[in-house]
A and B are shown apart, each in its own frame.
Chain A
Amino acid sequence: MESIARARQLVKKYAHTVAVAGIDFEILENECFGFIGPNGAGKTTAMKMLYCFLPRTGGTLEVLGRDPSVHPELIKRDLGVIPQDTNLDTDLNVFENLTCYARYFGIPHAAASARAAELLDFVHLTEKRTSEIEELSSGMRRRLLIARGLINSPRLLILDEPTVGLDPQARHLIWNKLRELRAQNVTLILTTHYMDEAAELCDRVAVMDKGTILATGNPRELIRAHIGQEVLELNLTGIDPNAALAELRRLPVKVEASGQKLYIHCEDGRQVLHLLTESGYRHITRRPATLEDVFLTLTGRDLVD
C-alpha cells in the first residue's frame, strides 16, 4: 500500500520545550492511524507539522509524497484538517463557513455551494444552514468543523482530538461519520487521549509520551503483546502487598502496582482468579485487557499525571 505520511527522527523544539523528540512513523493509504497519549505528549505538535502549520526543527517528513517545507500549498490542497481548537469563522453563518472555506481552495462558487449542501447533510446540520456559529452546541460545531475539513474532498483527513469535551451521543455520531469516511477510502490520522476511542476507530496507533513514541501497532496486537488477554484488579485494602506479590510470583502472570491496587496481567484470568480465591483473596475484578492497560504499562502507572 502507498505511504501517505512518513517521518524519520522528526523533532520539534519550541523556545523552552522539546515537544516532539525524534519520532518515526509511516502511515499508509486508507488506514486510520491514531496518536494516543496524555495531554502534553506532543500529539498536537506532531499534527501541526503534518498539516504544514509548523516547520520542523529536525528529521525528515513527507506528507502525500512531498516535503511540507517545500511548497506546502501543494500538500494542503489534498488535506483536510480538523484542529484541536474550534476555529470556525464566527463572522459567517454555517453555510457561509463552508463556502468561504471552499474559496480558500479555489473551488468555484457553484461547486462549492453544492458540496457545502452535501456536507451539511452528511453531518446532519442541514437545518442549521443559516444559523450563526454562536447558536450551535459544541457537538454541532465539531461536526461543522469536520464538514469544513472535507470541503476539498481530501485524500487525507487529520483530526486533532475530534471528540474531546463532547457528550456520549455526540461522540458516537462523530465516530459513525469517521467510519463512513473510512469506507469512502479517506485516510484518517487522529489524536486522542481517550483509549476507547483509539481502540474503536484505529487500525494502528502510536503510543506517545513526553515527545516520543513508545510503541506502534494494531490496538489488539499491542494489547496481546504488552498485556495478554485479561487483567485482574486486586484491591489491596487490608492486605499485605508483599504476601500477595509473593503468592503471585509463582503464577504465569505479570503484576503492576498502582495506588491501592495490583494489576495482574494474564492469559487465562479464570484460572488465576480461582487460585487467588483459594488462597483467600477477595475483592478481585476480572476484565478483558484494554489499550488503556498498554498505555499505562508503557508510561508507568504511577508516573502519569
Chain B
Amino acid sequence: MINLSIRFSRVWHRNFDVFVKYMYVSLIGNLGDPILYLVAMGFGLGTFLGTIEGVSYVQFLAPGIIVSAAMFAATYECTYMSFLKMIHLKTYDAIIVTPVNIEDVVVGDIVWGTSKALFSAGIVCVVVAACGLMHSAWALLLPLLILIVGFHFASLAMCVTSTCPNFDYYSYFFELFITPLFFFSGIFFPLTHFPPWLRLVAHCSPLTHAVELSRALIMGYPPPHAAISVSILIIPAIILFYVSIVRMKKRIIK
C-alpha cells in the first residue's frame, strides 16, 4: 500500500534549506561542468568546425547542454545525495518517525531532484540566452521540458538507489549508462551519420528526445516527432516513479 501525502513538501523544504545554506559551494559544482562544455567545446572547438546542420557549433551544442545539465543535476541528487541521507546520515530514519511517511520522503527527494534540475539547467538557459543563442519564443517552454527531463532522471536515479549497495555501484551506473547517454544522444554531433540501427538505439535514449525537443524549441521549428519524444520522456518516468517508491519502501521498512 502506498501511503503518500502532501507532507512530501516538508522533505523538499528540508533539502531546499540545506541547498540555500551551501548555495555557493553547490553553485560551482552544478554549473562548472555545463558552462565548461559550452565554452571549451562550443567556442573553443567550435571555431574550427564551421557549421553543423546550418548553424554554428556552439548553437548546435547549447540545446543539448541545457537538458544534459538537467539530467546530471537530478541524477546526482537522487543517487549520491539520497543514498547518503538514507544509509550514512540516517536522515530518512529520523524523518519517518514523524508523521512524514517513507513514501513522502522518497517523493520529496524526487521532487527535489527535479527542482535541482530546473535550477541548474535554468542557469545554463540564462547563459545561453545571454550569448544570443535563443532564437524563438518557443524557448519559453524550455522550463517545462527541463522539469520533465529532471523528473524522468530523478525517478530513474531513485530506482537505482533502491537497489544500490554502496557508492561504487553508482560509478557503474554513471560509466555504463549516464555518460554514454551524454555522448550518444545527439548533443555533440548529429545522429544523421549513424547507420540506421544505431540511430534506432540512440532514439531509445530519453536524452536524445530531450535534445531534439530542446533544439526545436530554441530554433523555433517543429520537432521531428514531438508526440513520440514526449511519450518516451513521460511514460517511463511515471513507471519509474511508482517503482522507486515501492522499492525504496521495501528497502527501508523490513
Contact = CB atoms under 8 A, between A and B. Distances in A.
A85 B253 contact: no
Interface in A37-59: 51-55
Contact of B98 (A54, A74, A76, A85): A76
A127 interface: no
**Residue in B94, B100, B101, B254 with the greatest tally of chain A CB atoms within 10 Å:** B94
Interface residues of B, number: 24
Contact of A106 (B17, B91, B99): B99
Given A100-B14, A103-B10, A73 B93 contact: no
Nearest to B90: A87
A34 interface: no
A91 B18 contact: yes
B21 A73 contact: no
Given A87-B89, A87-B90, A89-B14, A14 B254 contact: yes
Interface in B83-110: 89-91, 93-101
Given A14-B254, A54-B254, A83-B94, A106 B7 contact: yes
B90 A104 contact: no
Nearest to A73: B99
Nearest to B18: A91
A90 interface: yes
B13 interface: yes
Interface residues of A, number: 30
A53 B90 contact: no
A92 B99 contact: no
Nearest to B252: A53
B14 A87 contact: no
Given A14-B254, A96-B17, A104-B10, A76 B90 contact: no
Contacts of B18: 91-92
B94 A87 contact: yes
Contact of A76 (B17, B91, B99): B99
Contacts of B21: 91-92
A83 B97 CA distance: 10
Contacts of B100: 73, 104
Nearest to B14: A100
Interface string A173-207: 00000000000000000000000000000000000
Interface in B37-96: 89-91, 93-96
A35 interface: no
B253 A51 contact: no
Interface of B is mostly: loop
Interface string A229-259: 0000000000000000000000000000000
A101 interface: yes
A100 B17 contact: yes
Interface in A98-136: 100-101, 103-106
Contacts of A85: 90, 93
A53 B97 contact: yes
B97 A51 contact: yes
B10 A106 contact: yes
**Residue in A14, A15, A89, A92 with the greatest tally of chain B CB atoms within 10 Å:** A89
B97 A79 contact: yes
A52 to B, nearest CB: 7
Interface string A66-89: 000000111011010101010111
Interface string B94-135: 111111110000000000000000000000000000000000
B99 A53 contact: no
Contacts of A14: 254
A104 B108 CA distance: 12
A101 B95 CA distance: 8
Given A54-B253, A73-B99, A106-B99, A92 B93 contact: no
Nearest to B6: A106
B99 to A, nearest CB: 4
Contacts of A52: 97
Contacts of A15: 254
A204 B60 CA distance: 74
A14 B253 CA distance: 11
A81 B100 CA distance: 14
A152 B100 CA distance: 13
A7 B222 CA distance: 65
B248 to A, nearest CB: 15
Given A73-B5, A76-B98, A104-B98, 20 more contacts: A15-B254, A52-B97, A53-B97, A73-B3, A77-B99, A83-B93, A85-B93, A87-B94, A88-B94, A89-B14, A89-B89, A91-B21, A91-B22, A91-B89, A92-B18, A101-B94, A103-B10, A104-B7, A105-B98, A106-B99
Interface of A: 14-15, 51-55, 72-74, 76-77, 79, 81, 83, 85, 87-92, 96, 100-101, 103-106, 152
Ranked nearest first, the 5 interchain pairs of A and B with the lowest CB-CB distance are A87-B90, A104-B98, A73-B99, A81-B97, A87-B94
